Chain A
Amino acid sequence: MISLGIEGTAHTIGVGIVENYNDKCKVLSNNYIIYRPEKGGIHPREAANHHAEKISGLIIKSVNESDINFSDVDLISYSKGPGLGPCLRTAATAARALSLSIKKPILGVNHCVAHLEIGIGTLNKCIDPVLLYTSGANTQVIAFSEGKYRVFGETLDIGIGNCLDKFGRSVGLNFPSGPIIENLAKKGEKYLKLPYTIKGMDIAFSGLLTAAQQYHEKKEKLEDISYSIQETCFAALTEITERAMAHTEKDQVLLGGGVASNNRLREMIQIMAKERDASFFVPEKKLCVDNGAMIAWLGLVMHKSGIKMKIENTIIDQRFRTDMVDVVWRG
Chain B
Amino acid sequence: MWFGVDKKYLYKGAEAEIFISDYLNKQVVKKHRINKNYRIKEIDENLISSRTKEETKLISEARRQGVSVPIIYDIDLVKGIISMQHIKGKRIKDIFDKISDKNRKEICMLIGKNIARLHNMDIIHGDITTSNMIYYENKIFFIDFGLGEINSEIEAKGVDLHVLMEAIESTHSKNSNYFKYVLDGYKKEYKNNANSIIKKIEEIVKRGRYR
Contacts and interface: CB of A to CB of B under 8 A. Distances in A.
Is the pairing of A and B real? yes
Interface of A: 81-82, 137-138, 145-148, 150-152, 154-156, 191, 193, 196, 198-200, 202, 231-232, 235, 238-239, 242-243, 245-247, 267-269, 271-272, 275, 318-321
Nearest to B128: A200
B37 interface: yes
A145 to B, nearest CB: 6
Most chain A CB neighbours (cut-off 10 Å) among B173, B174, B204, B211:
B173
Given A246-B13, A268-B39, A319-B211, A202 B163 contact: yes
B47 A196 contact: yes
B40 interface: yes
B170 A152 contact: yes
A156 B39 contact: no
A275 B210 contact: no
Contact of B39 (A147, A231, A245): A231
A198 B147 contact: yes
Interface residues of B, number: 33
B210 A320 contact: yes
Given A151-B170, A238-B38, A199 B208 contact: no
Contacts of A155: 209
Nearest to B40: A231
B14 A235 contact: no
A81 B13 CA distance: 35
Interface string B154-165: 000001000100
Contacts of B129: 200, 247
Nearest to B166: A200
B14 A200 contact: no
Contacts of B13: 246
B97 to A, nearest CB: 10
B14 A239 contact: yes
B131 interface: yes
Contacts of A138: 209
Interface in B11-64: 12-15, 36-40, 42-43, 46-47
A303 B4 CA distance: 58
B163 A321 contact: no
A45 B12 CA distance: 50
B68 interface: no
Given A196-B43, A235-B43, A247-B14, 5 more contacts: A145-B171, A199-B147, A200-B166, A247-B171, A267-B38
